């Protein structure tokens, strides 16, 4: 019996972080691979509306704020940052990133197919583009189509006064006052960076507290900082209606009776999987709630040769979606597809919230430890770091959690400048079972933010009665 010959060993649908790494991983295993996406250059749509755009936006804001701190720098005389300034920077980064990815895919001989993919059967998709359509066959598929902001019938998005995060960069100017509905990752990030630019922000969420998975001391510090920037909070409040009044200002009515007014409204509740155009029914697949795919621990769907990775399969922590974890999932999926051994350690995944200030964490939290593990805490304040003084970033701290008896590092939680960068030092220490004595004995470059580890270790050792 002659074996079926397909066009590709693996066809990846979606060119975001999960799709890219899945395709590159399979190519490195000497497989015939292609990526299909509705629009090229590679990943442009996901970059423009996703991680790259929002993080570039944040850095542009921070650069502008630093210029205000150092008047001799070449900043505008009035110190303002416009939407044109922000868009210019975002577009430049996206151009560079898309060219880099195109180069990587070409170097590894990954074919790029432009068009909308829909399943015909378990080994065939129809790819439709402006010039027509064609059938493409593959032995295996990796669905990595990502997500989009969820819609709500009670929220009349018009892209100008009431908009979602994908529409934000299309605004012609920054609002003077803004209502943000949804205090998840996206809402928190936008609230902090816009408040830092002087926008009056009201943040509404039906949950009674912010960031329930984050160390409470860090959340308290972050909330205090937002309040100092003028952010108003309406937590434990549900929005039942919003719209545009006769005065051309938006309003949000709360279930408890209050009505909030603003120049515009940013809706950031929920994400919808982009699976609705794939014709999953043709292969017997059904998406779960919000268009997400259900996969097993090997990232396989209920159809044996179809896998899923990235945001479309859901988030490791509610409300958190990360390009880095999507990339890891894409790599693991391609390894699993072709029977190549791969190891993942999700308990060591670092998480970051790119607000102002930045938050990052790895390992266990106090909430995890308090009921079952004897632990102690060492803290280093940014105000005690020379590098923080130089940067003008004295707010923040690093918290080391360690076993009270063995002194092994159990968790690292940071709020402040560079948190998402220096958290990887703690990640490595936890991975290798290091004790906080390592940080005491290590020599760190001076001045650096990384010196916070040594100060926190000394603080922790003092608490358990250990001298230098």
Nearest alpha carbon to residue 188 among 204, 173, 200: 204
Residue 151 reports pLDDT greater than 60: yes
Residue 199's SS3 state is coil
Token pair 């399969």 is found at 313
Nearest alpha carbon to residue 145 among 308, 337, 34: 308
Structural Rg of the chain based on CA atoms? 24
Cα torsion 81, 84, 88, 91: sign:
positive
- Reported as a pLDDT band with limits 50, 70 and 90, residue 418 is very high
| 328 burial via Cβ count (<10 Å: 0-12, 13-18, 19+) | buried
Domain with CATH 3.30.390.30 in the chain: 357-463
Give domain 8-149+272-347's CATH superfamily: FAD/NAD(P)-binding domain (3.50.50.60)
Lowest mean pLDDT among 125-129, 140-144, 339-343: 339-343
Span 171-182, average pLDDT: 93
H/E run at residue 162: strand 162-164
Contacts 24+ apart (CB under 8 A), 385-390: 385/447, 385/449, 385/451, 385/452, 385/455, 386/446, 386/447, 386/451, 387/447, 387/448, 387/449, 387/451, 388/416, 388/417, 388/449, 390/447
Judge contact between 10 and 337, C-beta under 8 A: yes
Angle in degrees, CA 414, 420, 424, rounded to 5:
90
Predicted confidence (pLDDT) per residue in 294-310, tens digit: 999 999 999 999 999 99
| DSSP symbol at 194 | H
Q: How far apart are CA 100 and CA 106, in angstroms?
A: 10
Angle in degrees, CA 173, 179, 185, rounded to 5:
95
Judge contact between 31 and 337, C-beta under 8 A: no
Could you tell me which CATH number the domain at 357-463 has?
Answer: 3.30.390.30
CATH number (2.170.190.11, 3.10.290.10, 2.40.50.140, 3.50.50.60) of 162-268 reads 3.50.50.60
| DSSP symbol at 150 | P
Domain with CATH 3.50.50.60 in the chain: 8-149+272-347, 162-268
The alpha carbon of 145 is separated from its chain's Cα centroid by a whole number of angstroms, namely 16
Q: How far apart are CA 281 and CA 268, in angstroms?
A: 30
Q: For residue 191, what are the CA distances in angstroms to 175, 181, 182, 449?
A: 12, 10, 10, 25
Residue 200 tokens read as 């009056």
Is the peptide bond between 357 and the residue preceding it cis, with omega within 30 degrees of 0? yes
Q: Is the pTM of this model over 0.85?
A: yes
Number of residues assigned to the chain: 468
Span 332-355, average pLDDT: 93
Predicted confidence (pLDDT) per residue in 197-236, tens digit: 899 999 999 999 999 999 999 999 999 999 999 999 999 9
Residue 370 tokens read as 């308090």
Q: For residue 137, what are the CA distances in angstroms to 57, 126, 188?
A: 39, 9, 43
Q: What integer pLDDT is reported at residue 44 of this predicted model?
A: 46
Within 8 A by CB and 6+ apart from 232, the residues are 200, 201, 202, 203
Residue 348 tokens read as 């060591």
- Reported as a pLDDT band with limits 50, 70 and 90, residue 156 is very high
Torsion of CA 212, 345, 287, 124, to 10 degrees: 150
- Reported as a pLDDT band with limits 50, 70 and 90, residue 314 is confident
Lowest mean pLDDT among 66-80, 163-177, 261-275, 410-424: 66-80
Predicted confidence (pLDDT) per residue in 318-331, tens digit: 545 578 899 999 99
Name the β-bridge partners of 12.
Answer: 35, 142
Q: How far apart are CA 443 and CA 271, in angstroms?
A: 44
Kindly write down the DSSP assignment for every residue of 274-307, as one continuous string.
TTTTS-GGGGT----GGGPPP--TTSB-SSTTEE
Q: How far apart are CA 264 and CA 188, in angstroms?
A: 17
Question: From its phi and psi, is residue 396 left (phi > 0), alpha (psi between -120 and 50) or beta?
Answer: left
Backbone dihedral angles phi then psi of residue 316, each to the nearest 5 degrees: -65, -30
């Amino acid at each position: 019996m002659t074996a079926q010959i397909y066009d590709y060993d693996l066809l990846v649908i979606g060119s975001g972080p999960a799709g890219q790494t899945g395709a590159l991983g399979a190519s490195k295993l000497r497989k015939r691979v292609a990526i299909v996406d509705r629009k090229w250059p590679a990943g442009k749509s996901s970059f423009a509306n996703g991680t790259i755009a929002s993080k570039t936006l944040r850095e542009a804001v921070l650069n502008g704020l630093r210029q205000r701190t150092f008047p001799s720098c070449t900043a505008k005389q009035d110190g303002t940052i416009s939407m044109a300034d922000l868009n210019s920077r975002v577009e430049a980064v996206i151009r560079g990133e898309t060219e880099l990815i195109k180069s990587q895919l070409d170097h590894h001989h990954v074919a790029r197919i432009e068009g909308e993919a829909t399943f015909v059967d378990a080994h065939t998709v129809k790819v439709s583009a402006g010039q027509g359509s064609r059938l493409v066959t593959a032995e295996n598929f990796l669905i990595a189509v990502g997500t989009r902001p969820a819609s709500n019938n009670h929220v009349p998005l018009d892209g100008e006064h009431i908009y979602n995060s994908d529409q934000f960069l299309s605004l012609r100017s920054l609002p003077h006052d803004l209502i943000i509905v949804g205090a998840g990752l996206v809402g928190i990030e936008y609230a902090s960076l816009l408040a830092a630019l002087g926008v009056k922000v009201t943040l509404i969420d039906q949950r009674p507290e912010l960031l329930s998975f984050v160390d409470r001391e860090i959340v308290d510090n972050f909330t205090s900082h937002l309040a100092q920037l003028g952010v108003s909070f309406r937590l434990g409040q549900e929005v039942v209606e919003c719209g545009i009044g006769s005065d051309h200002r938006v309003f949000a009515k709360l279930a408890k009776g209050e009505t909030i007014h603003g120049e515009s409204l940013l809706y950031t509740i929920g994400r919808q999987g982009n699976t609705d155009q794939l014709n999953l029914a043709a292969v017997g697949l059904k998406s779960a709630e919000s268009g997400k795919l259900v996969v097993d621990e090997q990232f396989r769907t209920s159809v044996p040769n179809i896998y899923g990775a990235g945001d479309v399969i859901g988030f490791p922590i509610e409300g958190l979606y990360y390009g880095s974890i999507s990339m890891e999932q894409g790599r693991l999926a391609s390894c699993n597809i072709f029977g190549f051994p791969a190891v993942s350690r999700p308990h060591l995944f670092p998480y970051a919230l790119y607000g102002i200030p930045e938050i990052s964490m790895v390992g266990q939290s106090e909430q995890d430890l308090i009921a079952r593990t004897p632990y102690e805490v060492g803290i280093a304040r940014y105000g005690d770091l020379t590098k923080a003084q130089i940067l003008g970033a004295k707010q923040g701290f690093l918290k080391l959690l360690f076993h009270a008896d063995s002194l092994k590092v159990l968790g690292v939680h940071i709020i402040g400048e560079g948190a998402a960068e220096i958290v990887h030092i703690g990640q490595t220490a936890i991975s290798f079972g290091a004790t906080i004595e390592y940080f005491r004995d290590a020599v760190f470059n001076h001045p650096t933010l990384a010196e916070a580890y040594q100060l926190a270790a000394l603080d922790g050792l003092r608490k358990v009665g250990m001298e230098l």
